[in-house]
Structure 1
């Protein structure tokens, strides 16, 4: 307690009052007395004793004087400590009084603050109740408005649904009537298309029959005339009398073979025009009928060409047997055989795609390729000049 002031204490707890000692001299050292040997230093056994007593008394006096001075200093320090203790007690009491006064003031201020807080809390609570009441009324008003809006929307949607239902029924009725009209028109068109197809087929059959008869007659006449002339031509060849007239006859014969390709080219060009550039063959019934007729005409013409080439091969084989010295006939026979095979190949491709009326793009490409190959074969038919150059010695 000697080194602390009242500011260092926690005044929430009553400080312990220091006890004053009853005897001021009780704080002196227990062995504080004068001894004869105080201040004397013991000497060793071998040291010489004092010879002069006056000198020893002088030392004793000095020692007692020092001890007295030390005792007085101790008493002064003790009294100073006691005065300090007395002063601290008074200050502690004063500090306690100040603390109690401040505590009362703080309690009064706290009560005032609590009262103010209670008042503010009541005001806030009142305001919150008013706000909640306003919010409740506003919520009820919004709910009421929402219900009214829902009723209006439901009424409007019902009206709209009824109108849409009526419109759908009218539209469906119109569509049904339109479909009936289209079905009737389609039936009429199909009937007309069927009649037109039958009529066109009959016309085609008649025209094809007449054309075949004419071709057959012309070919028979041609073969007969050629047989009668060929013997004479061979005789002239043996005599080395190959002249312009014979060249013209052979040229006409070979050109006649080339002319067999002209009807085929015309039919293919017509077929290309009807198909157009479309990659998807979507045709009406009438167009499909026309397309089938064009394909049939092309196939008939291919049959005629195959028959002509077969007859030509037989004729050349017979002439080769009769006149083996005519070596140029082998070149003509080989060319005619190649044309016959290419014609048969194109006819086979058309026959495979006939049931689809060439509506399959792959089949049509195969027909195009076989037509190009057939065209090349016709272009490779030997010419009179080429035969003369190759067989000049024989001529």
Structure 2
């Protein structure tokens, strides 16, 4: 506000000065006109007029200087007055600020004392509460110690009972394992004897058939022998079918109950082992049949039906090999994943391979079919 009033005063003085300047210019113009008039008059009048004009001009210049000095003095006075007012205002503001600071410090001190008092009160209450909790904790510790001792005694009894049960389970598992091993050994001996008897009959039949074929003696007798041989190829698959159905029965029972005990797993492992043995026997039989047929084809190229028997036997052999891989996967799963049930994918793969093997066995040619194919008339 002080600065604004000072600016208005200066502006007012400036306007006065400008008006004086304009008046001076007007007078100068008038004087110039007078001088022109004097020029047109006589020289004396001109000189007199010039002297008078110079005097007037000097007077005007002096007056103008006086007015300028007066204006500058007024401006300086206004500036000093404004500066005094500003300093006075700053002094009042400093005094007010000091008073506010002093009041704020007093309030802060009061708050600090009140907080200190409240903190001391809380500390007293905390110590009293801690004493109560210490008493409660000591009582709880004593109760916990008593419970812990009882729990330790109970856990010792439970561990002892568990160890006894585990020991009994291990002994039972060992007994069951020995029984299973004995069963597998007996079954393998049966399979071996049956396999040996089969090969002896097979070789005897092969020798008779070769003799008859060399002598070109095709008769009902040799056709009957071929029929017996082809039926024997089909019968070679029967043990595999029985073993697979037994395994499927065990797994279906397991699926219904949803429980896999150690005995169940042991029984399944025995079934799987027997199925693997039967598949290996079937693979050997079919591989030997393929070799026999190839040898007979070389010796008797006119007997075209031998190729059909060779191809059918080889297809059965390949299907049996594929099924053997699936059963091997199941056996590895049972040995590695003791606690987990059999995977559905593993069993489905095994079922598909068995169905393929069954289809190939059904395609074993018959003597009637071979006669119709190679002797249509």
Q: Give the structure-1-normalised TM-score.
A: 0.51
The SS at the match of 1:125 is helix
- Which of the numbers 365, 368, 371 marks the counterpart of 1:385? 368
Deviation per residue, 1:81-103 (Å, 9 max, x gap):
35435655776787688779868
Q: Distance in 1 between matches of 2:290 and 2:105?
A: 121
Q: Determine whether 1:71 maps to 2:47.
A: yes
Equivalent of 2:269, from 292, 303, 309? 292
Residue 66 of structure 1: how far off its partner (Å) = 1.5
Give SS of 2:42's match: helix
Q: CA deviation at 1:70?
A: 0.7
Contact residue 319 and residue 360 of structure 2 kept, 8 A:
no
What is residue 130 of structure 1 aligned with on the other side? 106
> C-alpha separation between the residues in 1 aligned to 2:301 and 2:84?
156
For 1:102 and 1:344, the matched residues in 2 are separated by 124
Alpha-carbon distance between aligned partners in 2 of 1:99 and 1:354, rounded to the nearest angstrom: 115
Q: Is the 8 A contact 2:230 2:364 kept in 1?
A: yes
TM alignment of 1:48-127, pairs within 5 A: 66-84=42-60, 87=63, 113=89, 116-117=92-93, 119-127=95-103
Structure 2 unaligned runs (5+)?
1-11, 15-38, 337-342
**Equivalent residue for 1:201, pick from 157, 177, 181:** 181
Residues 152 and 214 from structure 1, CA distance in 2 versus in 1: closer, same or farther, beyond 3 angstroms?
A: farther
CA contact (8 A) 1:310 1:340 kept: no
What secondary structure, in the 3-state scheme, does the structure 1 residue paired with 2:364 have? coil
Q: 1:370 to 1:170 in 2, by over 3 A?
A: farther
| Distance change (3 Å), C-alpha of 1:115 and 1:79 | same
Structure 1 residue aligned with 2:240? 264
Instruction: Measure, in 1, the Cα distance between the counterparts of 2:157 and 2:294.
Output: 71
In the TM superposition, residue 305 of structure 1 has moved relative to its aligned partner by 4.2
Residue 334 of structure 1: aligned partner:
310
Contact 2:240 2:279 in 1 (8 A): yes
Residue 73 of structure 1 deviates from its aligned partner by 1.0
**Contact 2:293-2:307 within 8 A present in 1 as well:** no
Task: Answer yes or no: is 1:190 the counterpart of 2:190.
Answer: no
- How far residue 252 of structure 1 moved from its aligned partner, in angstroms, is 5.5
Q: Which residue is 1:255 aligned to?
A: 231
Native 8 Å contact 1:313 1:337 kept in 2: yes
For the residue of structure 1 that corresponds to 2:230, the secondary structure is helix
- On the 8 A contact 1:335/1:380 being kept in 2, the answer is no
Tell me how far 1:383 sits from its aligned partner. Answer: 0.8
Distance 1:218 1:339 in 2: 21
Larger Rg: 1
Cα pair 1:261 1:378 within 8 Å, conserved? yes
Whole-Å Cα distance in 2 between the matches of residues 266 and 153 of structure 1? 80
CA deviations over 1:148-172 (Å, ceiling 9, x no partner): 7987999999989x98xx6997999
Q: Normalising by structure 2, what TM-score? A: 0.53
What secondary structure, in the 3-state scheme, does the structure 2 residue paired with 1:187 have?
helix
The answer to which structure has the higher helix fraction is 2
In 2, the alpha carbon distance for the partners of 1:96 and 1:314 equals 139
Q: 1:295 and 1:153, CA in 2 relative to 1: closer, same or farther beyond 3 A? A: farther
Q: 1:338 to 1:315 in 2, by over 3 A?
A: closer
Whether the 8 Å contact between 2:320 and 2:357 is mirrored in structure 1 is no
Per-residue deviation, residues 313-362 of structure 1 (Å, max 9, x unmatched): 999999x79x9799477357636863785598579859977984765899
Distance 1:255 1:366 in 2: 28
d(CA) in 1 for partners of 2:165 and 2:184?
Answer: 27
**Root mean square deviation, CA, Å:** 6.3
Structure 2: distance between partners of 1:96 and 1:266: 134
Cα shift at 1:258: 0.8
Structure 1, unpaired ranges of 5+: 1-5, 9-62
User: Structure 2 CA distance, aligned partners of 1:175 and 1:209?
Assistant: 50
